[in-house]
A and B are shown apart, each in its own frame.
Chain A
Amino acid sequence: MKIDRRLFFKVLGATGASVALGTSLKAAPRKQEEKEVEFYGVLYDSTRCVGCQTCEFSCAEAHGLPEPSGAPEAGVIRKINEKNRTVVNVYKTSRGDVFVKTQCMHCSQPACVAACLTQAMQKTKEGSVIWRGEKCMGCRYCMVSCPFDVPKFEYHSANPVIQKCTMCYDRLKEGKIPACVENCPNQALMFGTRRELIKEGHKRIVENPDQYVDYIYGEQEAGGTAFLYLSPVPFHELGFNTHIQKTSYPELSKGFLYSVPSIFVLLPPILLGIYDATKNKNKEEENE
């Protein structure tokens, strides 16, 4: 038997439909990058932070979250959770106590956005990574993927939300700056475009080489993040994950995703070919 025309078209149709699906996979990643839009960011200078927790309180107030409990204490690491989008911790280091603020890093190419199958996680053109409840189905793949373990899930709610820093996206749209930056009494936080902030960071390092280590955490981590950190001591002393790769995380699954259309194009005709070949062989054997 030859592959009859009808069967051929059936396989062709099925393949075509899947290729259409496959190519849409290919086209989507990183649309934002094509338009030259400046991402905003925040520069955090740990040498200026005094651990007053004003950022924590103003964040809770701005987003209607419960008032933060506890205070920075050496040896105790408070974590961001489904009730706190940001926390300040203190670390005993070779150069005394140093405070560190933790929140979403707002990666330039976020793993959580690439992971999200409903586009609930979104990198806005302003640079915020935001979560949209009307799309999210609560699969928590964003939490599995985030290298900084930022998205937090309300396990004790029947209508749970993902809690994370949005760089005060609603305030940005109104032309305001993030609540934590606005209320910081010691200018430890600075808001601006990511490009300006990197320049500013390097300027501070060059002007006061004794005060800082010559490194901006976030300039390269995970392919670049919007939150940038200056520190007087090496970052591993401050509990930072220094094993974060320097290229973006979505890059890790890109190869797999790109192979999908090829397999959809190649495999069905090969299978059809094998089917036909073995079919004829069996017939011949029967005839002999």
Chain B
Amino acid sequence: MSKIDITAAKYSGDRPTWKFFMSELKPKGKWLTPFNIISIPIMILGLILIVIRFWKGLGSITNLTQEVPWGLWIGFDVVTGVAFAGGAYVITFMVYILNMHKYHSIVRVVVLNGFLAYLFYAGALVLDLGRPWHVINPIIGNSFGTNSVLFLVAWHFLLYMIAQLIEFSPAVAEWLGARRALKILSGMTLVAVIFGITLSTLHQSGLGALYLMAKGKIHPLWYSEFIPILFFVSSIFAGLSMVIFEGSLSYKVFFQQISEKNQKSHHGIIHGLAKICALTMFAYFSLQVLIFIHGQNWSLLNTGMGRWFLLEMIGFVVVPMVLYFYSYRRNNIFLIKLASILTMLGIILNRLNVTIIGFNWDAAVRYVPSWMEIVVTLAVIFTEIWVFRWVVNRMPVLRELPFVVKKEKLITG
């Protein structure tokens, strides 16, 4: 994707609509990139496995047991994936509510990432449903299980995806050259943002609240009545670390699309986010310490699970936190990126500890995901990256169209 003609990406009125869409569906640039060579076979294999799963039942490709009914697809795809998607509500809060214009250039790519993460990772939930043809039941009809935390989470996923779609829609309108729609959709941004932040607060914590009733099943070092708050606070730095990580990748891969001005501000943005990460991680770690002391679990520390807990807390919370502080002071972008990777590993570890590793940790038969579950997970991730790449190469996500400047004033001025 070396040469991209910005003006050609816009829909112009003299061509029929379907021709425009057909031309946009075609790949741009080279086909046989290393990423494509790796991802295409995995996506095809994943698709075959999904067909087998719906044909023969969940047990045919997963290792789920009666004791551990939620495995990799929930613990990693949904619970961890949604935490990583938290960057969208934090960045929109900073840009639209706090009016921090410095971060404006990354809003679109972050919202797009958040939306696709919800679409694919929360969408992966459907693969895990035993009776997916009833997925519509909690949304329409008289089957409202309103006293269920999962009911709340399901509704919030749906509503938040709509809010994110509205937040992102100006980019689609620009792509299609629909100026009137652009004006209307841009005017809805603030409402969507406020609604989206509220929804995020509740469902990020709600994912933790799902496990409140599993008291006694989750290892006491990971279970407390504060799981919702821990999940919420950690989603802030999980999301921002993802923004740093993904932003650095996009910066390299889509370099030509980014305007000179935004190229220059890239380091400043990462630098600022590092400080927010460091501080929220400090708050998170303090909370964990308080909960640990309150829980009086000292005796558990000298067990296998206790050492595992210490590894998570020190190796993947304290170390990246200190690294963020240090690299912020030294303005070392490389160390900030390293800290973001460590933080993300820590989040994966934490979510898997709550949902899988610490869940029925004393059961006779342990759940270990099958290779097929991992392939399906990878296929979902690769498909998301494909869609992301497709959108970024066509819509004004990273690059700016000439009349974007006017539109920005419309939102903020």
Contact = CB atoms under 8 A, between A and B. Distances in A.
A118 interface: yes
Contact of B152 (A29, A144, A260, A274): A260
Contacts of A184: none
B191 A118 contact: no
Nearest to B218: A144
Contact of A282 (B93, B96, B99, B198): B99
B197 A267 contact: yes
A10 B184 CA distance: 14
A274 B125 CA distance: 35
B201 interface: yes
Interface string B47-64: 000000011111110101
Interface in A118-157: 118-120, 133-141, 143-145, 147, 149, 152-157
A114 B214 CA distance: 12
Contact of B145 (A21, A111, A119, A253): A119
Interface string B132-154: 10110110000111111111101
Contact of B69 (A79, A136, A144, A271): A144
A108 B338 CA distance: 52
Interface stretch (A33-41, A53-61, A174-182, A243-251): A243-251
Contacts of B134: 118, 134-138
Interface in B372-397: none
B135 A137 contact: yes
B147 A250 contact: yes
A105 B212 CA distance: 20
A25 interface: yes
B147 A28 contact: yes
Most chain A CB atoms below 10 A, which of B70, B146, B205, B206:
B146
A117 B99 contact: no
Nearest to B364: A77
Most chain A CB atoms below 10 A, which of B191, B194, B195:
B194
Interface in B172-217: 188, 190-191, 194-195, 197-198, 201-202, 205-206, 209-217
Nearest to B192: A14
Contacts of A158: 54-57
A156 B216 contact: no
A257 interface: yes
A250 B191 contact: no
Contacts of B151: 25, 117
A208 to B, nearest CB: 32
A25 B206 contact: no
B131 interface: yes
Interface string B77-95: 0000000000000000100
A155 B99 contact: no
B4 interface: no
A141 B212 contact: no
B70 A144 contact: yes
B138 A117 contact: yes
A27 B98 CA distance: 36
A209 interface: no
Contacts of A136: 130-131, 134
A275 B131 contact: no
Contacts of A244: 216
B231 to A, nearest CB: 11
Nearest to A31: B147
A243 B223 CA distance: 15
B35 to A, nearest CB: 34
B228 A256 contact: yes
Nearest to A158: B57
Given A116-B145, A138-B129, A253-B212, A155 B198 contact: no
Contact of A149 (B56, B66, B93): B66
Most chain B CB atoms below 10 A, which of A120, A141, A154, A268:
A141
B410 interface: no
A28 B144 CA distance: 9
A263 interface: yes
Nearest to B214: A144
B66 A152 contact: yes
Contact of A257 (B58, B64, B149, B191): B149
Most chain A CB atoms below 10 A, which of B54, B99, B131, B212:
B131
Contacts of B215: 147, 245, 249, 252
B152 A257 contact: yes
A159 B93 CA distance: 43
B146 A24 contact: yes
B150 A139 contact: yes
15 contacts: A21-B155, A117-B138, A120-B143, A135-B143, A137-B129, A137-B132, A137-B134, A138-B129, A144-B211, A153-B69, A245-B216, A252-B212, A253-B212, A256-B205, A257-B209
A-B interface, 5 closest residue pairs, ranked by CB to CB distance from nearest: A138-B130, A155-B59, A138-B131, A117-B151, A137-B134
